[in-house]
């Protein structure tokens, strides 16, 4: 039973890896950006755990800016993904422009809140 699950796990990881390798490069870049943002957020949370949360607004704005860009990048990925039927008519330039605009608003708020 254990052996079959471990071999299942191995085949699962293998199929995941092969399926993921098939995605286009631009989507992989976006995914990398998302991972980077989440990693930055995690580092900030760990730092807060060590040092304490005194300027809480700074902590909040830092973490939420990372999470925010990650979310926006995921939205961009959804809109740019060619396999997504719903967004077939949306030109990727428009999706990127929306992404930039939303990021601008997000970072304006962050700058204000950073304190």
List of residues contacting another protein (CB under 8 A): 5, 8-9, 11-12, 15-16, 19-20, 22-23, 56-57, 60-61, 64, 67-68, 71-72, 74-76, 78-79, 83-84, 86-90, 95, 98-99, 101-102, 105-106, 109-110, 112-113
Smallest gap, in angstroms, from Cβ of residue 87 to another protein?
Answer: 6
Cα separation, 80 vs 83, whole angstroms: 9
Smallest gap, in angstroms, from Cβ of residue 86 to another protein?
Answer: 6
Q: What are phi and psi of 82, to 5 degrees?
A: -70, -20
Question: 64 to each of 23, 33, 59, 111, how far by Cα in Å?
Answer: 28, 15, 8, 12
């Amino acid at each position: 039973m254990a052996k079959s699950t471990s071999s299942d796990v191995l085949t699962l990881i293998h199929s995941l890896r092969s399926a993921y390798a098939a995605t286009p490069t631009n989507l992989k870049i976006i995914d990398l950006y998302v991972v980077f943002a989440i990693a930055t957020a995690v580092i900030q949370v760990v730092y807060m755990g060590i040092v304490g949360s005194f300027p809480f607004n700074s902590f909040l704005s830092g973490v939420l800016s990372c999470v925010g860009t990650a979310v926006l990048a995921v939205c961009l990925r959804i809109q740019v993904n060619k396999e997504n039927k719903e967004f077939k008519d949306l030109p990727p330039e428009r999706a990127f422009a929306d992404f930039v605009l939303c990021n601008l608003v997000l970072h304006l708020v962050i700058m204000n809140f950073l304190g």
